[in-house]
Amino acid sequence: MTPTATTAPQAVRTPAGHAREKILATAFRLFYSQGLRAAGIDTIIAESRVAKATFYKYFPAKDDLILAYLEMVDGAWSGQLHAAAEAAGEDPAAQLVGLFNALTTACRRDGYRGCAFINAAAESASGTRIHDRTVAHKEQIRAWICDLAVRAGAQDPDRLARSLTLLLDGGLASGVLDGDPAAAIAARDTASQLVAAALPN
């Protein structure tokens, strides 16, 4: 059959090693821009240009794709936080403040829609695999920040870590609500004050 202007796009034969990557790249874009519920499987398959059978070979259920998407987000965001902290130097106290530079960079990106994990948590019920994955991500970030706080000599590392992660999440949300990257700069300034107050005189 000859394709016409009204013919649905045909799936393109894709090497096995690349099909999963194409699906994930498309899901990443659509889940983040539209939301987990709004981005449907049929749309992801069509825009990935893979066969439906190929899609279900890699992702038998939508939740499987969402979890793979969240793994990608985790790797990217955690990497950005660690890189920003390391760029601040070897001093753990400086790293606790420096990690907020990742927030400033994120809020300035075109198409910024806040924290993908907070967004996913808002769309998933407590106790589900997706919600549990969002909680695990936040706990991992807090544990890392707590370790930095311990190495910095904070008097109450857990309290400081909880304060900084709350500030980080608030900055991620404010960047969307306000539409102003200045919120991220304010968050970094506040982090500096919190870290200074938490260290022994």
CB 23 within 8 A of CB 16: no
The verdict on 55 and 94 lying in the same domain is no
Q: What is the pTM of this model?
A: 0.86
The verdict on 52 and 82 lying in the same domain is no
The verdict on 149 and 79 lying in the same domain is yes
Q: Which domain holds residue 18?
A: 11-60
The verdict on 22 and 65 lying in the same domain is no
The verdict on 75 and 52 lying in the same domain is no
Please list the helix, strand and coil fractions of the chain in percent, rounded to the nearest 5, in that order. Answer: 70, 0, 30
pLDDT in tens, 80-139: 999 999 999 999 999 999 999 999 889 888 888 989 999 999 999 999 999 999 999 999
Element (H, E) at 113: none
The verdict on 106 and 129 lying in the same domain is yes
State the total domains in the chain.
2
CB 113 within 8 A of CB 33: yes
pLDDT in tens, 131-185: 999 999 999 999 999 999 999 999 999 999 999 999 999 999 887 777 677 888 8
Residue with tokens 């439906």: 52
Residue 2 lies in a domain: no
- What's the confidence (pLDDT) of residue 184? 87
3-class secondary structure, 128: coil
The verdict on 80 and 140 lying in the same domain is yes
Residue 3 lies in a domain: no
Residue with tokens 């999963």: 20
The verdict on 84 and 178 lying in the same domain is yes
Token readout for 155 is 């008097």
CB atoms within 10 A of CB 144: 17
